[in-house]
Amino acid sequence: MIPLIGILQSQKNPPHYPRFKQVPFLDLFIFSPADLLRFESHMHVLILRNENWIPQLLPLPQAVYNQVYTRDPTFAQRLEERIGSARVFNTVTQLDKWKVAQILQHSPLGQFVPKTRLYTWQAIPSLIQDNRPMIIKPRYGHQGHGVFLLKPDKSSWQLLQSSNKPLLTFTDEREAKKHLLTQFRKSRWLLQEFIVSDSSEERVFDLRYLVQRGSLGQWNVTGTLSRVALRDYFVTNICKTIVPVEQLISSTLKDELEEISLQTAQILHGEIGHLGEISVDFMVDDQEKPWIIEVNGLPAKEPFIFLKHPPTLQKLYRFPLEYAYFLATQRK
Ligand SMILES: Nc1ncnc2c1ncn2[C@@H]1O[C@H](COP(=O)(O)OP(=O)(O)O)[C@@H](O)[C@H]1O
Ligand SMILES: [Mg+2]
């Protein structure tokens, strides 16, 4: 019998991304958390049959590919109590950037992690006196919203949001402190060393490495791309263009980033939860040194569409299904 694999989505809609035409090696269905709560041993799901998603009542799956954006592992844990341990991935998808930074900082990859601190009120005076540009960003990602830069400028401070046009300018220290106290609430934000990207490039860019497990459970880099920022923006998530990484970095650096990405996945798996795919975002400074800017636990595949390379796209949709197959066929 071929294994039954569930894709957990917050809404039970057929996926709109490149349709799975056929996945002959497994039975694939879509379900939402609500479906699981309603019944004990069966669920109303959408199963893939001849390129169509058909409603059907089915037993619980043998493995689950979690596509719900959540920082809470309890749902995955409850599911695993019923279908067997280590059968759901990723158990958390909205990663705690503070936890990730700490784990990586204390690992052999520490040298690639920008200095990161939890934002506290006590940190504000030193933040202002440091005289170094600092990123202020949410501890839990909001998909690009709310990334600020506090930048000293002669005897004043500028607060920027996404673009290089200052949002606010503070001419004295007290004013700056007062504003920071009210705008950024404690513990929800991180302070991070600002990585100044290679000044020979006209626009800021980052490099995204998609790392996924395959049919034997091994980690692979299945896709890479680069996001080039809009002119006069310091963030790459409001991006103008997506290009192959080869257009911006040397093949030596490309290989180095591949190695760091694979190690990142290996280090975070287990420490964070059960992981089957992540993406690692890098920036490169003008010394050609790579820095890990973010690790994403629910990596979007849509940006890879812009590379116009169907085999890559096929691969990165297929890998998680192969990994689910691998988990489903493991002995309990
Ligand atoms: N330490 C940093 N140095 C320079 N740029 C940064 C830094 N941290 C974030 N950025 C910029 O801000 C963008 C968004 O930050 P990120 O940590 O990826 O948060 P999210 O994608 O969850 O909003 C990044 O893509 C990058 O362009
Ligand atoms: Mg990001």
Nearest ligand to the CA of 149 is 1
Q: How far is the CA of 235 from the centre of ligand 1 (A)?
A: 6
Please write the tens of the pLDDT for every residue from 107-165.
999 999 999 999 988 888 888 778 899 999 999 987 667 899 999 988 899 999 999 99
pLDDT at 105: 97
What pTM does this model have?
Answer: 0.95
Task: Report the candidate in 192, 66, 54 with the shortest Cα–Cα distance to residue 123.
Answer: 192
CATH of region 97-112+201-328: 3.30.470.20
282-332: per-residue pLDDT in tens?
999 989 999 999 999 999 999 999 999 999 998 999 999 999 999 999 987
Taking residues 66-91, report their average pLDDT: 95
Atom of ligand 1 nearest to the CA of 204: 27
Instruction: From 147, 203, 227, give the residue whose CB has the most ligand 1 atoms within 8 Å, as the site to mutate.
Output: 147
Give the position, in ligand 1's atom list, of the atom nearest the Cα of 194. Answer: 3
Domain boundaries defined on the chain = 4-85, 97-112+201-328, 116-193
Residue scoring higher pLDDT (120 or 85): 85
CB 207 within 8 A of CB 257: yes
* Percent of the chain residues topping a pLDDT of 70: 96
Residue 327 CA, ligand 1 centroid: distance in Å: 33
Contact between residue 109 and residue 292 where contact means Cβ atoms under 8 Å apart: yes
Q: Is the CB of 141 under 6 A from ligand 1?
A: yes
Q: In whole angstroms, give the CA distance from residue 161 to residue 93.
A: 25
- Mutate-to-test residue for ligand 1 from 237, 279, 280, highest number of ligand atoms within 8 A of CB: 237
pLDDT at 21 over 90: no
pLDDT band (50, 70, 90) for residue 18: low
> Backbone dihedral region of 153: left (phi > 0), alpha (psi from -120 to 50 degrees) or beta?
beta
